[in-house]
């Protein structure tokens, strides 16, 4: 089956790699190169870099819904479009520009967690399972009819990265199965239950600020969910301190401390921060302008006194 692939993110790039060679990809469509970081260096989307490695044609329209671009895609006569975290809504004309329409690989159990950050939001909410859904896209965000769906357990130590690594191959296999079903006319379409729909909006940098007044479990889920981006952070000594990895503080009486206070600081074992109902042991941090480092190494170069507060 001949397809055109639409995607932008790392998750999409991994999916592209997994399905390449298993179906005929006529072209890869991704967003334009953009300036990123403090240096505002122009960077290519991960999908563009992956497509280049695979020797595929890459299209980067300034406006995905431009009429001229639509005509260009129509000349390719694709059987289907596969869309994975592309980042821009497709017009009705574009959605209908291939024989079987546009198929979306969405990393959640739709209708739960529609939107840009379903993996992160599932971890934040304390879900015990998530999965991948293949839908036939319509003009509404992640609201198309479900064709196939598969679930996976969220482990206690799963981060957004490890969960993404599980879901990408699952999604690739499901969409290939979907293409086979469409080809033989055996695909079934199930409407989503709108009453069960929840949203997973795009994350912002400020979403990573840790509120130490929250329970320990909520803080640890946030650290796992938002790694690597936007990352979780606190403010220390006038600077942003990113918390890369942490765990429940295993022992100690922290009742006399208030949330956010340093209750232990030791160059051999790191430091511990009070939460609403206990404390977390900080294992890995990153100070502004530096590389991630162990908490022990951080303490060798930064003096932290008991009772100092992260904010």
Q: What is the pLDDT of residue 237?
A: 85
Pair 116, 201: CB distance under 8 Å: yes
Q: What is the pLDDT of residue 216?
A: 97
- pTM for the model: 0.95
Q: What is the pLDDT of residue 147?
A: 98
Q: How many whole angstroms separate alpha carbon 245 and alpha carbon 174?
A: 32
- 28: phi then psi, degrees, rounded to nearest 5: -115, 130
Q: What is the pLDDT of residue 266?
A: 86
Q: What is the pLDDT of residue 15?
A: 98
DSSP characters over 99-118: SS-EEEEESS-TTTTBSS-H
Q: What is the pLDDT of residue 66?
A: 97
Q: What is the pLDDT of residue 288?
A: 85
Q: What is the pLDDT of residue 80?
A: 98
Count the Cβ atoms, other than its own, within 10 Å of residue 128: 9
pLDDT (tens digit, 9 = 90+) per residue, 286-298?
998 889 999 999 9
Asked if the peptide bond before residue 230 counts as cis, ω within 30 degrees of 0, the response is yes
User: Measured in whole angstroms, how far is the alpha carbon of residue 298 from the centre of its chain?
Assistant: 28
Segment (H or E) for 72: helix 67-76
Q: What is the pLDDT of residue 123?
A: 98
Name the β-bridge partners of 150. Answer: 132
Rg (CA), the chain: 22
Q: What is the pLDDT of residue 259?
A: 97
Which SS3 state, helix, strand or coil, does residue 159 take? coil
Strands 102-106 and 80-84: parallel
Nearest residue to 101 (alpha-carbon basis) of 118, 78, 120, 70: 78
Low-confidence residues in the chain, pLDDT < 70? none
Strands 270-274 and 279-287: antiparallel
Q: What is the pLDDT of residue 94?
A: 97
The burial class, CB within 10 Å (0-12 / 13-18 / 19+), for 19 is buried
Q: How many whole angstroms separate alpha carbon 252 and alpha carbon 264?
A: 10
Name the β-bridge partners of 43. Answer: 34
Asked if the peptide bond before residue 20 counts as cis, ω within 30 degrees of 0, the response is no
DSSP characters over 109-169: -TTTTBSS-HHHHHHHTT-SEEEEEEEE--SSTT-SEEEEEEEEE--TT--HHHHHHHHHH
- 15: phi then psi, degrees, rounded to nearest 5: -65, -45
Q: What is the pLDDT of residue 270?
A: 86
Positive or negative, the CA dihedral 214, 217, 218, 219 is: positive
Strands 279-287 and 102-106: unpaired
Q: How many whole angstroms separate alpha carbon 23 and alpha carbon 42?
A: 31
Positive or negative, the CA dihedral 122, 155, 84, 82 is: negative
Q: What is the pLDDT of residue 303?
A: 86
Domains within the chain, CATH numbers bracketed: 2-196 (3.40.50.170), 205-301 (3.10.25.10)
């Amino acid at each position: 089956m001949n397809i055109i692939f639409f995607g932008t993110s790392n998750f999409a790039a991994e999916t592209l790699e997994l399905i390449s060679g298993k179906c005929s990809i006529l072209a890869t469509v991704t967003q334009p190169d953009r300036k990123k970081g403090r240096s505002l260096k122009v960077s290519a989307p991960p999908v563009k870099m992956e497509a280049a490695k695979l020797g595929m044609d890459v299209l980067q329209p300034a406006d995905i819904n431009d009429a001229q671009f639509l005509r260009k895609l129509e000349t390719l006569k694709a059987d289907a479009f596969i869309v994975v975290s592309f980042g821009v809504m497709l017009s009705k004309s574009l959605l209908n520009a291939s024989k079987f329409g546009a198929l979306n690989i969405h990393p959640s159990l739709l209708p739960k967690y529609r939107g840009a950050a379903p993996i992160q939001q599932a971890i934040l909410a304390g879900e015990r399972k998530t999965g991948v859904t293949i839908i036939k896209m319509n003009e509404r965000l992640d609201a198309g009819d479900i064709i196939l769906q598969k679930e996976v357990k969220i482990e206690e130590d799963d981060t957004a990265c490890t969960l993404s690594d599980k879901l990408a191959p699952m999604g690739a296999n499901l969409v290939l199965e979907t293409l086979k079903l469409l080809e033989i006319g055996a695909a079934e379409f199930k409407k989503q239950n709108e009453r069960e729909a929840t949203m997973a909006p795009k994350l912002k940098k400020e979403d990573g600020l840790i509120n130490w007044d929250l329970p320990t479990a909520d803080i640890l889920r946030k650290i796992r969910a938002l790694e690597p981006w936007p990352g979780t952070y606190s403010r220390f000594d006038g600077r942003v301190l990113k918390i890369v990895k942490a765990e429940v503080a295993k022992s100690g009486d922290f009742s006399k401390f208030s949330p956010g206070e340093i209750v232990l600081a030791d160059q051999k074992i790191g430091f511990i921060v009070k939460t609403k109902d206990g404390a977390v042991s900080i294992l890995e941090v990153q100070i502004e302008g530096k590389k991630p480092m162990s908490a022990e190494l951080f303490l060798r170069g930064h003096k932290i006194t008991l009772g100092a507060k992260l904010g």
